[in-house]
Structure 1
């Protein structure tokens, strides 16, 4: 997937498809599993975005400062009623723990 998600967070009154979260995180031991290149480690940037169906989201991840974006394994994932912000927090926690983390 070589795409660049929009950065920043839109106001809460915007429709769900407009939400954008981007954070930097350091992967824990064992890194993070991607579809395109397998495990990646180190300082990463992650950005989940809603899929067109409005029920699932895809997590894009890259080495911080790089141009290429990858898809976090097991993405897209269904989003709980808590929304994209909760999914984003969960992904950040999984990445920090490492062990070839994935999105669900």
Structure 2
């Protein structure tokens, strides 16, 4: 029996130099929590916050389609992009 793909994933990362680019406030840096959430219609919403904060921001490039619907692999790719920094956006 196969385990179903999760509908949402959350992970923590320290942003690399240049941080992650958001639609609402521009670049954010430091310790970040990133959430990927599958929406109706197959799109994935990617949001980010300073770890422990109340506010969530949209990562530039979100919403987007997850390659082959693979949310777990896509989430890992987003975390890696934020760890590299450089104004990270949702990978295409």
Q: How high is the TM-score relative to the length of structure 2?
A: 0.90
Moved over 2 A (4+): none
Report what 2:22 is aligned to: 34
Look up the SS of the partner of 2:46 in the other structure.
strand
Q: Which residue, 39, 47, 52 being the options, matches 1:51?
A: 39
**Structure with the higher fraction of residues in strand conformation:** 2
Report what 2:68 is aligned to: 81
Distance (whole Å) between structure 2 residues aligned to residue 102 and residue 25 of structure 1: 14
Count of paired positions: 90
Uncovered stretches (5+) of structure 1, i.e. residues with no partner: 1-10
If asked which structure has higher relative contact order (CA below 8 Å, sep 6+), I would say 2
Distance (whole Å) between structure 2 residues aligned to residue 82 and residue 51 of structure 1: 11
Uncovered stretches (5+) of structure 2, i.e. residues with no partner: none
RMSD: 1.6
Look up the SS of the partner of 1:22 in the other structure.
strand
Look up the SS of the partner of 1:28 in the other structure.
coil
Report what 1:92 is aligned to: 79
Report what 2:3 is aligned to: 12
Look up the SS of the partner of 1:81 in the other structure.
helix
Q: Which residue, 35, 42, 47 being the options, matches 1:60?
A: 47
**Structure with the higher fraction of residues in helix conformation:** 2
